[in-house]
Amino acid sequence: MKHLIIGNGIAGINAARAIREMDTSAAIFMVSDETFPPYSRPMISYVLEGSEPHEKLPLFAGNIYEDLDITPVLGHRVAHLDVKKKFVHLENGTDIDFQKLLIASGADARHIRVPGAELGNIFTMRTQKDVLDHLAAISLGIKNALVLGGGLVGFKAAHALLKRGIKVTMLITSAYPLAMQVDPTAGRMILKELQARGLSVKVGVSVSSFDGETRVKKACLDSGETLDCDLVIVGKGVDPSLGFIAENDIEIDYGILVDPYLCSSVSDIYAAGDAAESMDIARQKRWINAIWPEAAIQGRIAGYNMAGRKVACPGSLGRNVMRIFGLDVMTVGLANPDGADDLEIIQAGGEKAGVYRSLVFCRDILVGAVLVNQIEQGGILRAMIENRIPVRIPKAYLMSLHFDYSKLL
């Protein structure tokens, strides 16, 4: 059997490990445009802040390709996938055929498209190479950094630059940071905390252009304001990296739609990780939860299925635990619903209390939670969401910090 895996991230490498576990003689080819060995992508921000060295990023000691007998094809991007003839065409002109394919191509950082965006020192933050570029720029002396976007990546970039003693301004289009993860009350608590710790945060604004000669010197905002900046990190979200798939060849919504076995609409072609849209437990529909643990488990499950062992994916669940200076923040599932669904939300605490809890229910099933500080009960709340355990007691009991949640399990 010849397996081809696109992407050497956590989903790709875990699939290769599962295939090799099941089949010692299968041929495994792995293509990636990154040449660095499989590494911890979430850790790149620690390298930026200086708390971990770059050498600590690789996930495995030694040569994982040799250890798993994988043929690596690195530094090359897949330009086109031929689903009928079962081969991929690389940008360097070569073709690789396959019997089973895993698309674990993850996501690409969104770039900002405004005049001046091509100036030097304007970066994204997705790869270890991006962070090496940031560090090279910082080594030349940076006074004012601008971080665009208040999501997880923007937040991590801002935190890292602040730790390096650089003055940072964060520009957020929405009304508060981490708007994809938390509700407005938690968002306001986070905003206050960031400001109290020295981060300048401007909400409801965007950059309309950058100025400079070769390197960026100023950002002009749509509010009319101009900000001095000599480094910009763009954290405006990601898009699944699927440009090599022709329209209608595979069913794609935002990511590749997969069944419980992580197979796409085309037999023998699987998808996992940030590129795949699998069943979301909280939403009860297919969704991309672009987080490391989901990519890791999906890669493994896809690998088993490719190797012939039928393993169903239990469904994915978005979740995050973050330490934001003095705040512990935990979010699970449908934490910030948009109001379209038939949901009940109960909340306790808030900005004054310094502790906050919001629980989101779909009838008697808990589907989302946001906790700010005192997050110790979060693990049980997550288990309730994951296992869709009906709540048969008054929901208000669940807001008590002293409630024994284990009684519900």
**Rounded distance, CA 161 to CA 232, Å?**
11
Yes or no: say if 14 and 28 are a contact pair by the CB < 8 Å rule: no
- Go through 332-360 and write b for each residue having 16 or more CB atoms within 10 A of its CB, e for each that does not: bbbbbbeeeeeeeeeeebbeeeebbbbbb
Q: How far is the CB of 327 from ligand FAD (least distance, A)?
A: 16
Cα radius of gyration (the chain): 22
Task: State the residue for tokens 């407005």.
Answer: 184
Copy the structure tokens of residue 385. 């969401």
**Rounded distance, CA 151 to CA 158, Å?**
11
**Residue of 101, 105, 176, 234 interacting with ligand FAD (CB under 6 A):** 105
**Residue of 123, 244, 270, 361 interacting with ligand FAD (CB under 6 A):** 244
Q: How far is the CB of 61 from ligand FAD (least distance, A)?
A: 20
Strand partners, 316: 280
Residue nearer to ligand FAD on the CB measure, 47 or 362: 47
Q: Please give the size of the binding site for ligand FAD, defined by CB under 6 A.
A: 35
Q: How far is the CB of 153 from ligand FAD (least distance, A)?
A: 5
Yes or no: say if 117 and 111 are a contact pair by the CB < 8 Å rule: yes
Residue nearer to ligand FAD on the CB measure, 23 or 108: 108
Task: State the residue for tokens 């099941």.
Answer: 22
| Contact string (CB under 6 A) for ligand FAD, positions 145-164, x = contact | -------xx--x--------
Strand partners, 239: 108
**Residue of 68, 291, 324, 355 interacting with ligand FAD (CB under 6 A):** 291
Yes or no: say if 303 and 17 are a contact pair by the CB < 8 Å rule: yes
Residue nearer to ligand FAD on the CB measure, 74 or 345: 74
Query: Which of the 8 DSSP states describes residue 267?
Result: T
Q: How far is the CB of 266 from ligand FAD (least distance, A)?
A: 17
Residue nearer to ligand FAD on the CB measure, 7 or 116: 7
Residue nearer to ligand FAD on the CB measure, 305 or 408: 305
For residue 369, give the nearest of 337, 400, 392, 397 by alpha carbon: 337
Residue nearer to ligand FAD on the CB measure, 229 or 242: 242
Q: How far is the CB of 182 from ligand FAD (least distance, A)?
A: 15
Strand partners, 350: 355
**Residue of 3, 126, 286, 300 interacting with ligand FAD (CB under 6 A):** 126
| Contact string (CB under 6 A) for ligand FAD, positions 4-43, x = contact | --xxxxxxx------------------xxxx------xx-
Residue 124 engages ligand FAD in binding (rule: CB under 6 A): no
| Residues 181-210 within binding reach of ligand FAD (CB under 6 A) | none
Residue 290 engages ligand FAD in binding (rule: CB under 6 A): yes
| Contact string (CB under 6 A) for ligand FAD, positions 59-88, x = contact | ------------------xx----------
CA 258 to mean position of chain CA atoms: 18
For residue 282, give the nearest of 368, 205, 209, 201 by alpha carbon: 368
Residue 122 engages ligand FAD in binding (rule: CB under 6 A): no
Amino acid at 212: G
Amino acid at 190: I
Residue 106 engages ligand FAD in binding (rule: CB under 6 A): yes
Contacting residues for 84 by C-beta, under 8 A, at least 6 apart:
none
**Residue of 28, 47, 125, 307 interacting with ligand FAD (CB under 6 A):** 125
Q: How far is the CB of 101 from ligand FAD (least distance, A)?
A: 12
DSSP string, 171-213: EESSSSTTTTTS-HHHHHHHHHHHHHTT-EEEES--EEEEEES
Q: How far is the CB of 350 from ligand FAD (least distance, A)?
A: 26
| Residues 246-285 within binding reach of ligand FAD (CB under 6 A) | 273-274
Q: How far is the CB of 330 from ligand FAD (least distance, A)?
A: 12
**Rounded distance, CA 234 to CA 168, Å?**
13
**Residue of 194, 295, 301, 362 interacting with ligand FAD (CB under 6 A):** 295
Footprint on this chain of ligand FAD (rule: CB under 6 A): 6-12, 31-34, 41-42, 44-45, 77-78, 104-107, 125-126, 152-153, 156, 241, 244, 273-274, 290-293, 295
